[in-house]
Chain A
């Protein structure tokens, strides 16, 4: 079922401009080097792209595996209508990561070295593999939408057969991936501020990603509901709103217990100005949403859900920036603020992803997906009906 074609006057125009601006910037990078279009330096070798596109991009893609687990493993059928959009969002998150890495890596065409030269002790080795594998898994998880549109029964049936193993693989890979992004920072005991450095960083990364996953689904459903006019049932979204505080609570307890165990709770008060950042991250992004989501009036209201989800997402982004950029010591004698072309790349990459997203929603049965195809036991015979 094709929906009515509506013209997109401004949104698409702005998106296209942002997407197009990134093209000459990438050309500059490949002609003159990273120094010509970024303020990265020997003092600050990782900047905006790693913090935003990699750290935030991967965390914000967590909606994919959390919803897949919720629906396919824990059988919470109610959330079925949002699984596909969630997985699509995750897929796009990973596309963002990959596109950004194409600019950020010094020699991206040698990325395959990671397949033959193994340093299994390197957290980045794990991250690299997870990006590759999970993008593949997500593509396979997405593929039924394409096959349904094309009426290809045999590949559809095949995907249906391996669906549950695929979903479990996706969950395991992304679980490991969220963890490993935290492990990457474990190599910085001396340069990451002690308010954030802890051996349990991998676990903190994982739990916060699980909390932000449903928040991203709320955000994405609300936005695409506004853009395409097929709103997801409020009941589904408030259900997600009820899950989030639970994980935020675990996250908060872990964070505090960890500081307490290290005897460093006083840093929350004493280590100015880090503590301001830490408190902002924890109060605005964790405590406040916990309170708001537990108020039924807010939870049963689209605007309330949307706003609170934004807080969770904002808090997570702030956390990832704190650990991956702001409170990592810079080498003496250097300063860093992103060059406008760095912003242009990050924005451009997102614009490209959104364009793909919108095309996918228009062309593939994603949102109006009627929720039977992969329902109980991974069987897909009805698919051809769409």
Chain B
């Protein structure tokens, strides 16, 4: 069992308390932003913004919705970023489910950013000594028995920390209690192999910018490839050594008595 957070789009009032709490807990400075007509501010995640609330005007089932969605790292059950990182700088904590970053290992290749299906990790582009930054699930707070800063700050209970399994049950119960208020989907239950952070929303998820993902964990195919690689490499060695031996032998047979006759050890 690992932890999760359930975000309920019907309880969220778009106050951005979570954003502020996240900034102050992680000691992230404010960002200078320009108003480009939307409500999202900052407009997207960055090296100093681990979470933002999305605001969208959505027409759904003939009704107008002023809909919100908090975004941050999903803390996947099979994180693509963890599978990507060559030095194991990103790791999923089995107890809490938090996918945490260790800058003592990272060397800045940014494969994690490319691999993440949710587009989460960010990079310190303007720093000559840049690191990766992303939501930590406030793993330090979790270890100390506290809720994540954003969950604590949420005034309406739109964010709820719990055991992931319980949260899924809870989410289903809320949907079936008022089916007209929710779309019938718990986002994160199956997406990309499942995530710790779960969402229920009054409007379709694509409308809120959630990527439509299948159930396959992105780490599946590369793991198969990496597992077969040693056998493959061994096969190539044997094949090459074998062919070498064969061609040498053929040569030797056709050159018997040749002064270059004796062979140095065949590759092993």
A interface residue numbers (CB < 8 A to B) = 29-36, 40-43, 45-46, 69, 72-75, 105-108, 110-111, 113-114, 117-128, 161, 164-165, 167-168, 171-172, 175-176, 179-180, 182-184, 186-191, 199, 202, 328, 331-333, 376-379
Contacts and interface: CB of A to CB of B under 8 A. Distances in A.
Interface stretch (B9-17, B163-171, B208-216): B208-216
A168 B240 contact: yes
B232 A190 contact: no
22 contacts: A32-B126, A35-B125, A36-B126, A42-B46, A45-B113, A73-B243, A106-B108, A107-B130, A119-B82, A121-B219, A124-B109, A164-B264, A171-B240, A176-B229, A179-B229, A183-B225, A184-B222, A186-B221, A187-B80, A188-B218, A189-B117, A333-B44
Interface residues of B, number: 71
Contacts of B226: 120-123, 126, 183
Interface in B238-253: 240-241, 243-244, 247-248, 250-251
Interface stretch (B20-28, B84-92, B139-147): B84-92
Contacts of A168: 237, 240-241, 244, 267
Given A42-B46, A377-B264, A186 B222 contact: yes
Contact of B214 (A33, A114, A117, A189): A189
Contacts of B243: 73-74
A123 B201 CA distance: 36
A43 B121 CA distance: 10
Query: Top 10 closest A-B pairs, CB basis?
Result: A106-B108, A35-B125, A125-B86, A45-B113, A110-B107, A75-B247, A117-B87, A186-B221, A186-B222, A119-B88
A165 B216 contact: no
A48 to B, nearest CB: 14
B223 interface: yes
B86 A122 contact: yes
Contacts of B237: 168, 172
A107 B110 CA distance: 11
A190 B44 contact: no
Contact of B267 (A127, A164, A328): A164
Given A35-B125, A75-B251, 5 more contacts: A42-B45, A42-B47, A127-B86, A188-B115, A377-B264
A121 B130 contact: no
A333 B43 contact: yes
A88 to B, nearest CB: 21
B236 interface: yes
B179 interface: no
A73 B240 contact: yes
Given A33-B125, A180-B229, A189 B87 contact: no
Contacts of A188: 114-115, 117, 218
Nearest to A38: B125
B131 interface: yes
A117 B103 CA distance: 12
Nearest to A29: B128
B213 A378 contact: no
Given A106-B106, A124-B111, A117 B89 contact: yes
B83 interface: yes
Interface in B252-268: 260, 263-264, 266-268
A106 B130 contact: yes
B108 A187 contact: no
A188 B46 CA distance: 21
Contact of B125 (A41, A167, A171, A379): A41
A34 to B, nearest CB: 6
A193 to B, nearest CB: 14
A127 B87 CA distance: 12
Contacts of B82: 119
A106 B126 contact: no
Contacts of B241: 168
A110 B87 CA distance: 10
Contacts of B180: none
B32 interface: no
Contacts of B225: 123, 179-180, 182-183, 186, 199, 202
B115 A187 contact: yes
The interface centre, meaning the residue of B109, B209, B221, B223 with most chain A CB atoms within 10 A of its CB, is B109
B266 A73 contact: no
A309 to B, nearest CB: 26
B129 interface: yes
Contacts of A179: 225, 229, 232
A199 B241 CA distance: 29
B181 interface: no
B253 to A, nearest CB: 13
B124 interface: yes
B85 A122 contact: yes
B199 to A, nearest CB: 17
A120 B47 CA distance: 28
Contacts of B115: 187-188
Contact of B86 (A33, A35, A124, A161): A124
B157 interface: no
B177 interface: no
Interface string B188-216: 00001000000000000000010101101
Nearest to A46: B114
B87 A125 contact: yes
A105 B108 contact: yes
B60 interface: no
B268 to A, nearest CB: 7
A132 B221 CA distance: 25
Nearest to A40: B125
The interface centre, meaning the residue of B86, B226, B260, B266 with most chain A CB atoms within 10 A of its CB, is B86
B125 A72 contact: no
Contacts of A111: 107
Nearest to A180: B229
